[in-house]
Amino acid sequence: MKQQSAPGGFRRLRGLVRKEFYQIVRDPSAIAIAFLMPVGLLILFGYGVSLDAKHVPIAIVVETPDAAAADLTRSFEMTDYFDPVRMPNMPAAADALTRHRVDAILHLQGNFASRLHEKEGAPIGVVINGVDANTARLISGYIEGIWLKWLGDRARSEGFELSMPVDLRHRIWFNAEVRSRNFLVPGLIAVIMTLIGALLTAMVMAREWERGTMEALLVTPVTMREIILGKLIPYFILGMGGMALSVAMALWVFDVPLRGSIWMLTATSALFLLAALGMGLLISIAAKNQFVAGQTAIVVTFLPAFLLSGFLFDIGSMPEAVQFITHIVAARYFVAILQTVFLAGDIPSVILPNAAALVLMAAIFLGLSRKKARKRLE
Partner 1 sequence: MDGVDGPEAALSLENVSKTFPRGEGRVEVLKGISLEIRKGRVTGLIGPDGAGKTTLMRLAVCLLEPDDGTLTVMGMDAAREPLAIQSAVRYMPQQFGLYEDLSVQENLDLYADLQGVAPSDREERYAELTQMTRLGDFTDRLAGRLSGGMKQKLGLACTLVRPPELLILDEPTVGVDPVSRRELWSIVSRLVEEEGMSVLLSTAYLDEAEKCDEVILLHEGEILGQGPPGDFTKEQEGRAYWVKPPAEKKRDVQWRLSRRDGVVDAVIQGDGVRVVMGHDEEPDRDALLQDGEDFEFEPVDPRFEDSYVAILQSRRDEDAKDMAAEAAPQRSDASERTNVDKSGGESPGESPGGGPPIDVENVRRRFGDFYAVKDVSFSVDHGEVFGLLGANGAGKTTTFRMLCGLLPASGGKLRVAGLDLRRAAAKARARIGYMSQKFSLYGNLSVMENLKFFSSAYNLKGKQRRDRIDWALEGFDLKKRAEAESGQLPLGYKQRLALACALMHEPEILFLDEPTSGVDPMARREFWDVINALAGAGVTVLVTTHFMEEAEYCDRLAIMVAGEILALGAPAEIKARAGNSKDEPAASMEEAFIALIEDSSA
Q: How many CB atoms lie within 10 A of CB 277?
A: 27
Nearer of residues 64 and 220 to partner 1, judged by Cβ: 220
CB of 19 to partner 1, least distance (A): 5
Contact residues for partner 1, defined by CB under 8 A:
1, 8, 11-12, 14-16, 18-19, 22-23, 26-27, 211-213, 215-223, 375-378
CB of 352 to partner 1, least distance (A): 41
Residue type, 357: A
CA distances for 50 relative to 34, 215, 229, 245, 312, angstroms: 24, 48, 40, 21, 10
Nearer of residues 213 and 261 to partner 1, judged by Cβ: 213
φ, ψ at 128 (rounded to 5°): -125, 140
CB of 291 to partner 1, least distance (A): 17
d(CA 71, CA 156) in angstroms, rounded, equals 15
Residue 288, exposed/middle/buried by CB under 10 A (0-12, 13-18, 19+)? middle
Q: Which residues contact 91 (CB under 8 A, 6 or more apart)?
A: none
CB of 282 to partner 1, least distance (A): 21
d(CA 268, CA 193) in angstroms, rounded, equals 12
Where does residue 310 fall: left (phi above 0), alpha (psi -120 to 50 degrees), or beta otherwise? left
DSSP 375: S
Q: Which residues contact 207 (CB under 8 A, 6 or more apart)?
A: 290
Question: Do residues 251 and 342 touch, judged by C-beta distance below 8 A?
Answer: no
Nearer of residues 19 and 115 to partner 1, judged by Cβ: 19
Q: Residue 278's closest CA among 177, 360, 160? A: 360
CB of 132 to partner 1, least distance (A): 45
Nearer of residues 290 and 309 to partner 1, judged by Cβ: 290
Nearer of residues 8 and 353 to partner 1, judged by Cβ: 8
Nearer of residues 6 and 172 to partner 1, judged by Cβ: 6
CB of 214 to partner 1, least distance (A): 8
Nearer of residues 154 and 370 to partner 1, judged by Cβ: 370
CB of 8 to partner 1, least distance (A): 4
